[in-house]
Structure 1
Amino acid sequence: MTDPLMGSISDHTRSKWGRRVAWFFFGILPVALSYVLMWVVPPFERWLQVVYYFFAYAFFSCAFTMVMVPYGALPQDLTADANERTVLVSFRMAFSVLGGLLSAVVPDLMIKRAADLKTGYFIMGLSFAVLFAVIWLVMFLSLRNKVKAETPATTASLKESVKYCVGNKTFLLLCAIYLLSFIPNDIMSSNFKYFINDVLFMGDKFALTMGALMICAVLSLPLYVLACRKMGKRKTFIYGSIFRIAALLLLFLLGPDSTVFRLVAIAVVIGLGTGVAYAIPWSMLPDVTDLDEAYTGFRQEGIYAGMMTFIRKLSSGVAIFLVGLLLQISGYTAGAAEQTSLAKSAIVGILTVVPILFVLLGIFAALRYPIDRGNSQLIREVVDQRRDGSFAGLDEETRQSSLAGLKDIIDVKRKGRAHAE
């Protein structure tokens, strides 16, 4: 729950570096220190070690929230151009995926080269802590003069901001789109190894296959950015999700007799479909915060980014729980030379049918999502009028007409949609 709180704090922050960038500086030491502490083995009794690691991990989670929530709200402060925001989000997600690949390979290599496990984990933790500190320092130094210090902060309280978020049906739809597109990613990452090991019997090809999938997901991001410029974000998400479903269905073509080439080729296609989850939902968030600002007059991008970050953590927990529960029900036995036919069928179903159902629900949510090219122009006009002070000077009828149109979008009413895509 620290995510929405940090979002509200960043919304209320006033500094010469702007509302978000200041936190990159404040978070350098806490992030680095908290990460190192998680890899220290304290000379305590066992139960005290458990307490120590609980608080060490909680410290890191809070420190990481201190920088990541403002980071998630940063595109809105950097540019008002929708296409530029999409590009920024795509770059962010590309490095996120590459960082995931890095964290999957490098720590193991560092630990194995150490004299013992305790030393290896500490060296790994210290090395990554230094890397984190350098990254956030570079972020701060690069952006401290890029964001206007006079950016107005919201005057809404945390309670009011949360109320606006929960009452904004367009934002709730975006949360659904985000949740339903990322749960399949988590299911894939947590279940794919079982599929490779216990169904295809190609355990030694797991790194190659997942590497190909994730790299192709990164390479697909420019294609989705281009598609957004041509047809808008909502349509791009819908068509990309349909392609993703088709790609997941290709998994049914794999079996124990499949070649490595077929396995990797299908992973490449799935990666291209997976890219839509990285490219679109976060790029939709600035449109929703613009809508909120146009209607309420408050700038509270931070609270929205905090809620999105919280949703992401929730989706990861749901996915891991779901995979574990279904495997347990199917009778999966860890370490068995060969699984039962029911367990194998469950593994295939978890990797195909379950993600497809989530993606389908995501498509239905996107079909209801009301912001398109037609009404986004109204949103942008009112935001600009709010910021230059001209909105209050409009005649009452014009003002009320604009607010009524914005309320229709917030409430996801069909009459509020321009269908101009």
Structure 2
Amino acid sequence: MLWIVPPNINSLGLFWYYVIIGATYQLFYTVVNLPYIAMTPELTQDYDERTQLNSFRFAFSIGGSILALILAKVFFSSITNHQQQYILLAATCSIITILSLYCCIWGTRDSILAFEAKRSQFEGVKSTHIAEHLATSLSNRPFLFVIGIYLFSWLAVQVTASMIPYYAVECIKLRESDVPAVLICVQGSALLMLFIWSYIAQRIGKKFVYFLGILLWIIAQVSLFFLQPHQVILMYMIALISGCGVSVAYLVPWSMVPDVIELDELKTGHRREGIFYGFMIVLQKLSLALSLFFVGIILESSGFQGRLQDQTTLILQPESTIFAIRLAISTVPTICLIISLFLTYFYPITKEMHAEILLKLRQNNHSGQDL
């Protein structure tokens, strides 16, 4: 329904239609995604294996994005009707998504049930007050660093993703049909680098990997400001470098969350996967909303000239718009990434500290079992 445009309806009706459908979609996306990502600390307690586990999770996430872009190019090149293009694309992606989710459910069901049965032997009665859970989670200092790292890195991702179509068309003078190829280039590079960063992280640690990846990404973002029209090859090279940084924004913050959960368990005696991952999903949605709002404000204030759906004439954008697009896609993500680097530097949980946390948890569990 997101891709169906109701006929014979005014702008206000369209607005409320998409508000309702968009909110419903996001609601059920959260219902599915929250327990899905909260399974990470339950599938393994190994510090390095969690990074590897997240590399596989995001490899299929990015792979799904690439597949959707490829399917879009196939449908758009073979079908002329715009409405049919998007409906068929949405239906195909929906079928793939649902089958994948049920494969995940049945593939992990036994492991998760075994983990929950074992954990229930040691945990006491949990408080049902959501305010208490929230307050305790926010008092977890390492988690506050993870929140900041993820928010600012994901803001950089979302602002870049939102600006790429405008930047590619208006600044580099690519055709609109070439934009998916640029996105595939970024996502493809990120997909490959997930496994490379995961391998490196096992040897030098998550924090150092994050620094390496983000520094590469900052170089790529700054380069976009100076790129000139028709420098297509350079743009694709920069897209490849950007993908190297995007992959650590996917990988590292999510790999930190399970470690934070176990620190909380050591301090409180309870596991709160849902609360911690719920915060992460809220930040994910917040960064998306802020980036779209920011992009809209930038384009409107700079005098961007939109084009109607049935209008084929090329519109020349004013120089103020071109400069604003260059500034937005380079400066804003760079500032966000620098802040995330600063927060990562002070993130306290190391591999050695995590091993000590697990040891103390096992000792506590054995003591409880003896009692």
TM-score by length of 1: 0.76
How big is the shift at 1:235?
A: 2.1
- Code of the residue aligned with 2:327 in structure 1: it is G
| Secondary structure in 1 matching 2:99 | helix
- Code of the residue aligned with 2:224 in structure 1: it is L
How big is the shift at 1:374?
A: 3.4
Match of 1:159 among 111, 115, 131: 131
- Code of the residue aligned with 1:281 in structure 2: it is P
Taking a change above 3 Å as real, the CA distance of residues 52 and 348 of structure 1, as seen in their structure-2 partners, is closer
| Secondary structure in 1 matching 2:173 | coil
- Code of the residue aligned with 2:39 in structure 1: it is L
CA distance in 1, matches of 2:193, 2:280: 23
Q: Is the 8 A contact 2:214 2:337 kept in 1?
A: yes
The reply on whether 1:194 has 2:159 as its aligned counterpart is no
How big is the shift at 1:282?
A: 0.4
May I ask how many residue pairs the two structures share in their alignment?
Answer: 356
| Secondary structure in 1 matching 2:61 | helix
The equivalent residue for 2:117 is 150
The reply on whether 1:354 has 2:327 as its aligned counterpart is no
The equivalent residue for 1:180 is 152
Taking a change above 3 Å as real, the CA distance of residues 274 and 160 of structure 1, as seen in their structure-2 partners, is same
| Secondary structure in 1 matching 2:157 | helix
How big is the shift at 1:357?
A: 0.5
The equivalent residue for 1:327 is 299
Taking a change above 3 Å as real, the CA distance of residues 43 and 261 of structure 1, as seen in their structure-2 partners, is closer
CA distance in 2, matches of 1:255, 1:42: 40
The equivalent residue for 1:95 is 60
Q: Deviations over 1:247-283 (max 9, x none)?
A: 223324520252x322212211121122111111101
Q: Is the 8 A contact 1:248 1:270 kept in 2?
A: yes
Taking a change above 3 Å as real, the CA distance of residues 338 and 119 of structure 1, as seen in their structure-2 partners, is closer
The equivalent residue for 1:17 is none
Taking a change above 3 Å as real, the CA distance of residues 50 and 356 of structure 1, as seen in their structure-2 partners, is closer
The reply on whether 1:307 has 2:279 as its aligned counterpart is yes
Taking a change above 3 Å as real, the CA distance of residues 180 and 54 of structure 1, as seen in their structure-2 partners, is closer
The reply on whether 1:228 has 2:231 as its aligned counterpart is no
Taking a change above 3 Å as real, the CA distance of residues 173 and 391 of structure 1, as seen in their structure-2 partners, is farther
How big is the shift at 1:187?
A: 1.1
Q: Is the 8 A contact 1:382 1:391 kept in 2?
A: no
Q: Is the 8 A contact 2:137 2:143 kept in 1?
A: yes
How big is the shift at 1:87?
A: 0.9
The equivalent residue for 1:141 is 106
Q: Is the 8 A contact 1:247 1:269 kept in 2?
A: yes
Q: Is the 8 A contact 1:327 1:346 kept in 2?
A: yes
Taking a change above 3 Å as real, the CA distance of residues 361 and 134 of structure 1, as seen in their structure-2 partners, is same
- Code of the residue aligned with 1:188 in structure 2: it is T
How big is the shift at 1:348?
A: 1.0
The equivalent residue for 1:337 is 315
Structure 2 unaligned spans of 5+: 308-313
The reply on whether 1:265 has 2:232 as its aligned counterpart is no
Q: Deviations over 1:128-148 (max 9, x none)?
A: 333232112211221122221
The equivalent residue for 1:104 is 69
Q: Is the 8 A contact 1:182 1:277 kept in 2?
A: yes
Deviates more, 1:169-178 or 1:156-165: 156-165
CA distance in 2, matches of 1:165, 1:243: 32
How big is the shift at 1:289?
A: 0.5
Q: Is the 8 A contact 2:151 2:283 kept in 1?
A: yes
Q: Is the 8 A contact 2:142 2:260 kept in 1?
A: yes
Taking a change above 3 Å as real, the CA distance of residues 120 and 264 of structure 1, as seen in their structure-2 partners, is closer
CA distance in 2, matches of 1:242, 1:91: 23
Q: Is the 8 A contact 1:112 1:120 kept in 2?
A: no
The equivalent residue for 2:366 is 388
CA distance in 1, matches of 2:226, 2:75: 38
- Code of the residue aligned with 1:209 in structure 2: it is V
- Code of the residue aligned with 1:92 in structure 2: it is R
CA distance in 2, matches of 1:134, 1:385: 41
How big is the shift at 1:38?
A: 4.8
- Code of the residue aligned with 2:195 in structure 1: it is P
How big is the shift at 1:54?
A: 4.3
CA distance in 1, matches of 2:146, 2:285: 16
CA distance in 2, matches of 1:114, 1:205: 17
| Secondary structure in 2 matching 1:145 | helix
Percent identity of equivalent pairs: 27
The equivalent residue for 2:261 is 289
The reply on whether 1:215 has 2:184 as its aligned counterpart is no
The equivalent residue for 1:16 is none
CA distance in 2, matches of 1:115, 1:224: 41
Taking a change above 3 Å as real, the CA distance of residues 270 and 51 of structure 1, as seen in their structure-2 partners, is closer
Match of 2:290 among 318, 323, 344: 318
CA distance in 1, matches of 2:152, 2:17: 35
Match of 2:35 among 35, 51, 70: 70
Taking a change above 3 Å as real, the CA distance of residues 111 and 220 of structure 1, as seen in their structure-2 partners, is closer
- Code of the residue aligned with 1:389 in structure 2: it is S
The equivalent residue for 1:371 is 349
Structure 1 unaligned spans of 5+: 1-36, 394-421
Q: Is the 8 A contact 1:294 1:383 kept in 2?
A: yes
CA distance in 1, matches of 2:241, 2:5: 43
